[in-house]
Amino acid sequence: MAWSIIHPILVAIVIAGAMPLIAGCYQFLLAGFNGFFGVWKREGVPGVPLPRVAVIVPAWNEAAVIGRTLDTLMALDYPADRLRVYVVDDASTDETPGVILGKSAEYPGRVFHVRREQGGEGKAHTINHGLRTIRSEDWYEAILIIDADVIFTPRSLRKMARHLTRSEVGAVTAYIKEGSRPENFMNRFIAYEYVNAQAGARRAQNVLGAQACLAGGAQLIRRDAFEAIGGVIDTSSLAEDTFTTLNIQLAGWRVVFEPHAIVWAEEPRDIGGLWKQRLRWGRGNVQVTLRYRRVWLRRWTAGRLGSLSFALIWFSVFLMPAFMISSSLALIVLWLHDRDVSIEAFRLLWFVNLATYLFITLSSFSLDWSAARVAWREAFLFPGLISLAIIAYAIVPDLIGEVGGDAFLLFAYVWLSASMLAAWLVKRIEATRVLGWAARPLLYVVGFGPVLCAITANAYVKEIRGSEMVWEKTEKTGTVGELA
């Protein structure tokens, strides 16, 4: 009798292993309605001028990229008298100060060098230093916080700023795309991932009226909204951009994603660089989840941020490692008690994985065909060759029990969680001198998705241990191509 109750519970836990993909499908379904909502119309309000924008560029040892970034900003299709750029030099030790001063002379009254003599405190402190200068001048009507390496396409700022002509909109973010050229395997994986995480997910959040995060490289914030949350950037976490985003919405403003404002960025080119970058993001998400615990599922007090849909999107990613481990454990318990039931649960899980994987991949292609042309192999191999082999094994009933016996079956059961350990091992292999070359093919075997899950699990561990919060900057080399 007890097992008749426990079996359905265990099967439900098994299927929950597909929850991140199910949530991904839900986001793409929502994304299809993005164009029906008036607040995201392409035109601004007639007769309302574009705001005066003060751009803040935090920079530490960015000599390789900062000159081109400033030239691109000065060439934007935006009224010249309504755009100023403040580069906040965080005590750089390379040629960054000289490059900025040279651009200040080239663009007098439009580019300003703001120097910090004592740096090293992190991006948020650097931004706040610049904010103190901008706020004291009392000129700006909106601030645009960007990274030192990003390349704004000519009309991107205009497309973002038009939303601020609507009084209910407090902040706008752009579509950050991977722009390293020539791109390598890692850049292609990231390019495809960004179609999901931005072009798809943020369109869906537009529909929900609740945005999770202003992209760190393109945060356009109305002055009134910024002053309403204190006029400073949070410095107590590794997710200052997410804190800003949620606080603006809790203060009653809308945050909007503008998919047609394209901003190109240089992203990591190896697993180690990705791990360093995403570990910081993952730890920031842990901090956000705990700090805003009174927001989740509290629609009556937190507005749209407290909706069930927003919680589904947030926690499907945040709890991804927990879903995967629980699913594997439930399969093993079922196998120990009733092998046939465990096989049926296993087949159902991977059938759901197959259906959702295909839906998300093809939906991504429809949203950004240019990215799909470059990264279509990485899109189809995102879950890894092993996971694709398990899908094939699961959806052909005659193979189960005939190919490899129980040993392979148990391997398939635990792979959902063991893939994270495999991803960590690939990272370690990459760091070795002798076997480093093998990391690239192994990544395609293990999958990019498991790497992201492993990083999230690592973020849990770092936060539980109370590890020091260190802002490790991604190294930039100025490889973003001419991709306007």
Q: Give the residue from 362, 421, 330 showing the smallest Cα distance to 29.
A: 362
Q: Give the residue from 161, 163, 159 showing the smallest Cα distance to 144.
A: 161
User: What secondary structure letter does DSSP report for 76?
Assistant: S
**220/255 Cα distance (integer angstroms):** 10
**Residue 181 confidence (pLDDT):** 83
Q: Please name the residue ranges forming H helices in 308-432.
A: 308-318, 320-337, 339-367, 369-380, 385-395, 405-430
Residue the block writes with tokens 């509290």? 298
37-298 CATH pick, 3.30.70.100, 3.90.550.10, 3.30.1120.130, 3.40.50.620: 3.90.550.10
> How do residues 178-206 score in pLDDT, each as one tens digit?
988 888 999 999 999 999 989 999 999 99
Q: Which of the four pLDDT bands, split at 50, 70 and 90, describes residue 306?
A: very high
**Residue 311 confidence (pLDDT):** 95
Query: Is residue 42's pLDDT more than 60?
Result: no
Phi–psi pair at 33, nearest 5 degrees: -95, 5
Query: Is residue 472's pLDDT more than 70?
Result: no
Please report, for residues 200, 254, 359, 398, the alpha-carbon distance to residue 35 in angstroms, rounded to integers and kept in the order given. 13, 16, 20, 46
> How do residues 104-155 score in pLDDT, each as one tens digit?
999 999 999 998 887 777 888 899 999 988 888 889 999 999 999 999 999 9
Instruction: Give the gyration radius of the chain's Cα atoms.
Output: 24
Please give the single-letter amino acid code of residue 394: A
**Residue 39 confidence (pLDDT):** 47
% of the chain residues with pLDDT over 70:
91
**Residue 38 confidence (pLDDT):** 45
Q: Is the peptide bond before 259 cis (omega within 30 degrees of 0)?
A: no
Question: Where would I find the beta strands (DSSP E) of 223-328?
Answer: 254-265
Query: Is residue 1's pLDDT more than 60?
Result: no
Please report, for residues 38, 83, 220, the alpha-carbon distance to residue 166 in angstroms, rounded to integers and kept in the order given. 10, 19, 14
**Residue 326 confidence (pLDDT):** 95
Which of 158-162, 236-240, 383-387, 469-473 is predicted with the least confidence, judged by mean pLDDT?
A: 469-473
**Residue 299 confidence (pLDDT):** 92
Which of 138-142, 238-242, 397-401 is predicted with the least confidence, judged by mean pLDDT?
A: 397-401
Q: Quick check: 60 and 125 in contact, CB under 8 A?
A: no
**222/322 Cα distance (integer angstroms):** 38
Mean pLDDT of the chain: 89
Q: Quick check: 339 and 409 in contact, CB under 8 A?
A: no
Q: For residue 48, how many other CB atoms are within 10 A of its CB?
A: 12
Phi–psi pair at 181, nearest 5 degrees: -140, 130
Please give the single-letter amino acid code of residue 418: A
Q: Quick check: 328 and 417 in contact, CB under 8 A?
A: yes
Q: For residue 71, how many other CB atoms are within 10 A of its CB?
A: 14
Question: Where would I find the beta strands (DSSP E) of 103-212?
Answer: 111-116, 142-146, 151-152, 169-178
First to last CA, the chain: 65
Pick 263 or 481 by higher pLDDT: 263
Domain ranges of the chain: 2-20+319-465, 37-298
Q: By 3-state DSSP, what share of the chain in percent is helix, strand and coil, each rounded to 5?
A: 60, 10, 30
List the structure tokens of 328: 């594997």
Query: Is residue 101's pLDDT more than 90?
Result: yes
Pairing assessment for the beta strands 53-59 and 218-222 based on DSSP bridges: unpaired
Q: Which residues pair with 265 in a beta bridge?
A: 178
Please give the single-letter amino acid code of residue 274: L
Number of H helices, E strands in the chain: 20, 8
